[in-house]
Amino acid sequence: MTFPHKIYDNYSLLQKNTLGLPSTARYYAEVGSVTELRCALAFAREKHLPVIPLGGGSNVVFGEFLDALVVHVNLKGKAVLSRDRDCVRVRAEAGENWHELVLWSLENKAYGLENLSLIPGTVGAAPIQNIGAYGVELKDSFVSLEAMSLESGLVEYFDRQSCDFGYRDSVFKREKRDQYVIVSVTLDLDATLKPNLGYGQLGDLLARRLGNQAPSAVDISQAVCDIRREKLPDPSEVGNAGSFFKNPEVSQLTMDRLKQEYPNIVAYQIGRNWKLAAGWLIDQAGLKGERKGRVGTYQKQALVLVNHGGATGQDVLSFSSMIQRKVNEMFGIRLEREPRLYMDDIGKIPRHRSRDQDNQDAI
């Protein structure tokens, strides 16, 4: 079979994940079009290999060796499809940087994504876990997406209902897991700004900065960026994957029990249940700033795991398991990891290849 682009063997993924974990893919391809993606998937089927789609590498934990085809989805393009007095419909290809899409939307007077500023990763990854921050989720503006089937190579259409979004969740993390690669996303944004300032820290910061003056979308975006930069380390300086655990949801009965034991517990009500702040739970377990070997929790935000240098995927997995165990022992709450773990196919990097050979043999 002839391929229109290069597929590399034994490719280092060290620079392709924000945790900075050493990992080698048996095969690696970067695709810039639907045609190239279809060819790459055909290659994987021919080799009987699993496919690992890769965007910004900000929500993954890699093992040492991935016996798979890692496909870096680099499809680019964004456009305003339509505009009326209420709505601006936009489409973005999967390889677009998410934060750059947010800034572009504001430049085009399309509002609703400002609270999602500075979330790392690409557009294609956003629907998979229904990204959210400061009272806003992707599903709030989501219209549809297109995704290519790994089995057939055909592009299929998914509307909001068929994506079945939940908290940091979608059908692509459940029933459709490992079956599709997202190629584009379509959103309906607001033609006029409707500020969502219900998240206390965001509203408080804007009030201090602007007083009684109504914030612009750029004001909101900048405030969100400043809060995130204060709480989260820059992956280019300290390896991390952002928030490592989901905020657990508990029943009213469990909340009543916890409130009696911990009157200052940080939580907020959603319907009949309560959402707990995972970072607060980890902090109360005495694990904020904790370090074990080459992995630790960030000293400013216990929810973030950091690579202090030289950590492996197994190190991160072991450290996160320790956090889960201690939080469960103290609160009776099981924390769920947020990043996707690619650990099943861990093996040893082939010894017959020198480091200088990695990344150089294109087939």
The residue behind tokens 């490992």 is: 178
Catalytic residue among 243, 290, 320, 340: 243
Show the CA angle centred on residue 264, arms to residues 261 and 270, nearest 5°: 95
* 265 φ/ψ angles, rounded to the nearest 5 degrees: -60, 140
96 is an active site residue: no
Catalytic residue status for 243 = yes
Q: Rounded to an integer, what distance in angstroms lies between the CA atom of residue 113 and that of residue 125? A: 15
Question: Annotated catalytic residue: which of 168, 228, 337, 340?
Answer: 168
338 a catalytic residue: yes
Q: Is 91 helix (H, G, I), strand (E, B) or coil?
A: strand
Catalytic residue among 156, 257, 338, 353: 338
Decide: residue 166, CB within 10 A, 0-12 exposed, 13-18 middle, 19+ buried: middle
Q: In the 8-state DSSP scheme, what is residue 14?
A: G
How many other β-carbons are positioned within 10 Å of the β-carbon of residue 58? 19
Q: How far is CA 9 from CA 62, 67, 278, in A?
A: 17, 10, 39
Sequential DSSP letters for 346-363: --PPPTTS-TTTTTT-B-
Which amino acids are annotated catalytic?
Answer: 168, 243, 338
